[in-house]
Amino acid sequence: MAYELNIQSSSNEELTLWLEEFGKASEDEKKKAKTLLAEARHNAHSLQRSNDDLKLDLESSGDKNKDLVTERDNLLTERDSLHVPLDDPCFDSIKMVVEGKLVDVPLPAVPESPAPITPSSNALPVVVEVIEEAKGENAQL
């Protein structure tokens, strides 16, 4: 009986040691899980903040894009309005109102080719004046 008691006692000690090891392992795993959970929450928060920032950037970029497209369209309209020929019948800005009616304003004739630039033979002579340095009290060195 003492032998069985000894075996039971050593078996109980082994089970107690195994239980303590298992308890320590579970505590370590619990700490690791808490640490990983805290990191995951921090990462999720950082990702959410980054996502929100990117959404705001996207909205502001969209607004800037709309403004730029509007400005481009306005510039294209201005450019196109400058290409209207002056003799176009729909171009009424060269008309004036006389007695309640639009009347064409006569335009000066434009030469086909510009006149060549030739040096003038009536060039005036260039006068060069020589100024001597002042000597005396007020002279600067």
Structural domain includes residue 114: no
- Number of domains composing the chain: 1
The model's pLDDT over 27-43, given as tens digits with 9 standing for 90+, comes to 999 999 999 999 999 99
In degrees, to the nearest 5, what angle opens at C-alpha 114 toward C-alphas 110 and 118? Answer: 140
Model's pTM, two decimal places? 0.41
User: Is 3 a domain residue?
Assistant: yes
**Domain around 33:** 1-69
**What pLDDT, in 10s, does the model give residues 41-51?**
999 999 999 99
In angstroms, the CA 87 to CA 105 distance is 11
